[in-house]
Amino acid sequence: MRADSPWRDPVALLMIPAVLYLLFVYAFPLLWLLMKSFSGTTGATVQPYVAFFSDPFNWRVVGNTLSAALWVTLVCLAIGYPAAIALARAGVVLQVVMLVSIILPLSIGVVVKAFAWQIVLRRGGVVSQLMVGLGLWDEPKRLLFTEVGLVLGAANIFLPFMILPIYSVVKLIDPRLSEAGATLGATPLYRFVRIGLPLTLPGIVSGIAFVFSLSVSMFVIPSLLIGDRYQTLSTLTGRSFLLMRNEQLGSTTAVILLSLAVATVVFSTWLARRLGGST
C-alpha cells in the first residue's frame, strides 16, 4: 500500500459501510438488470433492444415519458423560480415559515399525496370548482386520469426539488448588484436578463436535473393519477415484472430509463460546472 493511499487515513475507512451498502443494494441489482437486458437464448445479444425500438407502441411510451417529464419540469420551473427568489429575499420569520411550508410536505409519502390529488382533480374537486367559480368552465370537469392532472399532481410533489437548488444559489447573490444596475439606469427587465438570470443559472440547471430525473422515472404518480392507458417507461417496467412476468422486457425498459436519468444528471453536472466557472 502506497504511503499516499487514502486507505491509510482512518477517516477514509468510515465510507466502507456506505460503499458496501451501495454495492449490494444498488450496484449489483443494476448489473443484473444490464446483463438480463442483453441476454438471449444463444447468449449475449442486442435483440431485446432492437425488438423494443422496432415497436411503434414503445416509441409512444418513450414519448409519453419524456413529454410528461418535460411538462412537469417546466411547470416546476415557472412556479419555483419566483418562489425561490421570494424565499431568498424574505425576512427571517417569513423565510422560516416558507422553508417549513416547502420542506414539510417532503415528509409525507408519495402515495398519500397522489391519493390526495385524486380527490382534488375529480369532477367535484377543488380545481374543478375553482375553474367554474372563475367562469373559465361552464360546468365541472374531471382532470383525474388526464395528462393535465398528471402534470399538476407531479409538479406539486416535485416542486421543492426545484425551489431549493435555486434558493441556495440566489441566497449567495449580493442584492446590491441589482441596485448598482438601477443606479446606472438599467430597467428591471434588463437587470434580470443581464444580472439576475445568468447568476442563477447553476441553480436552475440543478433544479431542472433533479425534477426531470424524478419525473422521468416516476411510477406511483402516473399509476394513480392517469392509470394504465397512459404508459411510461417506469409503468411499463413495473407491468413487465409484476404482471407480464417478462423479465427481459422489464430489464430492457429499466436500462433505457436508467440511461435517460444518468444522461440527464451527467449533462446537467457538466453544464452547472461550466456555468459556475463562467460566472
pTM for this model (two decimals): 0.87
- Mention every residue, 6+ apart, whose C-beta is less than 8 A from residue 158: 72, 76, 210, 211, 214, 215
Summarize pLDDT for 142-198 with one digit per residue, the tens: 888 889 999 999 999 999 999 999 999 999 888 788 778 878 888 888 888 888 888
Classify domain 56-278 at the CATH topology level.
Answer: MetI-like fold (1.10.3720)
Q: Where do the domains of the chain lie?
A: 56-278
User: Which of these, 98, 222, 278, lies nearest to 171 by C-alpha position?
Assistant: 98
Distance of CA 260 to the CA centre of its chain: 12
Summarize pLDDT for 185-235 with one digit per residue, the tens: 888 888 888 888 888 998 999 999 999 999 999 999 999 999 888 899 999
